[in-house]
Structure 1
Amino acid sequence: MSRLGVGMILIILGLMLEAKTGESMRFELQSGNTKCISEDIKSNAMSVGKYGIVNPNEGYPLPDSHRLTVRVTSPHGNNYHYGDHVDSGTFAFTAAENGDYTICFWADDHKPSAKITIDFDWKTGVAAKDWSKVAKKGQVETMELELKKLYDTVTSIHEEMFYLREREEEMQQLNRETNSKMASLSLFSLLVCLSVAGLQIWHLKTFFERKKLL
């Protein structure tokens, strides 16, 4: 395969990874309501995010009704970020465990009810790195920086493949255990049914013998 072909494959893989590890959105939240967003992150992966309320009246102070309580938690419930009655914020952490990390937005209850528009950006893995600082710190050329990005992208893809393989093995093991339990339960149910049928036959036989019908 030519170098150009290899380069194109790596670029495509990089774009796929970028799409997976970067999430930017805008959504609306009614006063008194909650919205939670989850991201599957593997251990030791860097994650950064920022959020902010969009001012409905540009050029004027943000209304008092536009405040949020924000919490980021790990799969085991550990807190990684907490913002109380804020209009914007940022967070950054390195995942200590595999699984779904969750961010929840609570809109303060307000009368009359208000609709809050929120801009939210969440990046993990390669997408979470600040490459401008890397370039400034290392004084590297543009090509070197792109190669470093590409190398980190390929490394992340490699790690992601192993992570997905581990998750697949866990699911297969869970399926095997479930099938084994279902087989045991089916056998137990069959034994119970046979026992009940035997008791019914014995009861009927005893009943008819007492009535001297047998």
Structure 2
Amino acid sequence: MKAIVKHKELYLVLLCMLFELGSGLYFHIGETERKCFIEEIPDETTVLVNYKVEHFDPKTSTFMPSHSVGMHVEVRDPDDKPILSRIYSSEGRISFTSQTPGEHVICLYSNISAWFSGTQLRVHLDIQVGEHAIDYANVAQKEKLSELQLRIRQLIDQVDQITKEQNYQRYREERFRQTSESTYHRVFWWSLAQTFILLTMGWWQMRHLKSFFEAKKLV
């Protein structure tokens, strides 16, 4: 039994490693269907979104590249304020920088209401955050950096991203503490109010019973 549990734990660890190694995914959408993804992002962090749209070809029973369908992309910050909202082509790359830490919502949907007689679309999506969104080959070419200088640049960006992640974790802990304290105070005052109501009702019942017994001359 212990051996089976160990094998299951090993399988879960390997599965988690696979998810961490590959951030790309694909999903299917229908007409007017909207897909949204939530990404927790620190402040002042660059986010790169790569996507590609394919349509289903009944003749070959496979998904083929589509050039006539565009995608409407919307990004909203944790305060539900729009960061960008534009219509792009069937394949593209979108980049934005977060201004506030928290959960950002990225939504994609087709820019037309009917296409290809209602066939499904397959959307390949890859979201990269922080230093993963930087094209270091392009940076090295533009700034004429040597291999050592480029490696130092990568390490600096990684340290900067780790610092942002730590600040974001402290921000989350502070918000959680504030929520916990607010919940505690509400529960305390509600319990106090319930106790006061129960004591008041008990006192009123005692007075009412005393008046009843005195009226009936039982006491």
Same fold by TM-score greater than 0.5: yes
Q: 1:202 to 1:109 in 2, by over 3 A?
A: farther
Provide the secondary structure at the position in 1 that maps to 2:103: strand
Residue correspondence of structure 1 range 33-44 to structure 2 within 5 A: 33-44=33-44
Q: 1:130 to 1:63 in 2, by over 3 A?
A: closer
Would the aligned equivalents of 2:51 and 2:93 in 1 still touch at CA under 8 Å? Answer: yes
Provide the secondary structure at the position in 1 that maps to 2:188: helix
The CA deviation at 1:63 is: 8.3
Q: 1:153 to 1:204 in 2, by over 3 A?
A: same
Indicate the percent of aligned positions where both proteins have the same amino acid. 26
Q: Please tell me whether residue 209 in structure 1 is matched to residue 186 in structure 2.
A: no
| Range moving further from structure 2, 173-182 or 184-193 | 173-182
Q: CA RMSD in A?
A: 2.8
TM-score (norm 1): 0.78
Query: 2:52 matched to which residue of 1?
Result: 52
TM-score (norm 2): 0.76
Query: 1:175 matched to which residue of 2?
Result: 180
Out of 94, 97, 106, the position equivalent to 2:97 is: 94
Out of 143, 148, 162, the position equivalent to 2:148 is: 143
Q: Please tell me whether residue 62 in structure 1 is matched to residue 66 in structure 2.
A: yes
Query: 2:26 matched to which residue of 1?
Result: 26
Q: 1:59 to 1:127 in 2, by over 3 A?
A: closer
Q: 1:109 to 1:193 in 2, by over 3 A?
A: farther
Letter of the 1:210 counterpart = A
Query: How many residues are treated as equivalent by the alignment?
Result: 195
Deviations 1:48-107 (A, max 9, x none): 21222124348978386x554321111222222223485334322221111111111234
| Range moving further from structure 2, 55-64 or 130-139 | 55-64
Provide the secondary structure at the position in 1 that maps to 2:56: coil
Query: 2:7 matched to which residue of 1?
Result: none
Q: Please tell me whether residue 185 in structure 1 is matched to residue 180 in structure 2.
A: no
Q: Please tell me whether residue 72 in structure 1 is matched to residue 88 in structure 2.
A: no
Provide the secondary structure at the position in 1 that maps to 2:79: coil
Would the aligned equivalents of 1:36 and 1:104 in 2 still touch at CA under 8 Å? Answer: yes
Distance in 2, Cα, partners of 1:98 & 1:148: 24
Q: 1:110 to 1:210 in 2, by over 3 A?
A: farther
Specify every segment of 5 or more residues in structure 2 that has no aligned partner in the other structure, as ranges: 1-16
Out of 118, 125, 132, the position equivalent to 1:127 is: 132
Letter of the 1:50 counterpart = N
Distance in 2, Cα, partners of 1:158 & 1:185: 40
| Range moving further from structure 2, 103-112 or 173-182 | 103-112
Provide the secondary structure at the position in 1 that maps to 2:138: helix
Provide the secondary structure at the position in 1 that maps to 2:211: helix
Distance in 2, Cα, partners of 1:197 & 1:69: 63
The CA deviation at 1:23 is: 3.5
Distance in 2, Cα, partners of 1:117 & 1:42: 30
Query: 1:13 matched to which residue of 2?
Result: none
Query: 1:5 matched to which residue of 2?
Result: none
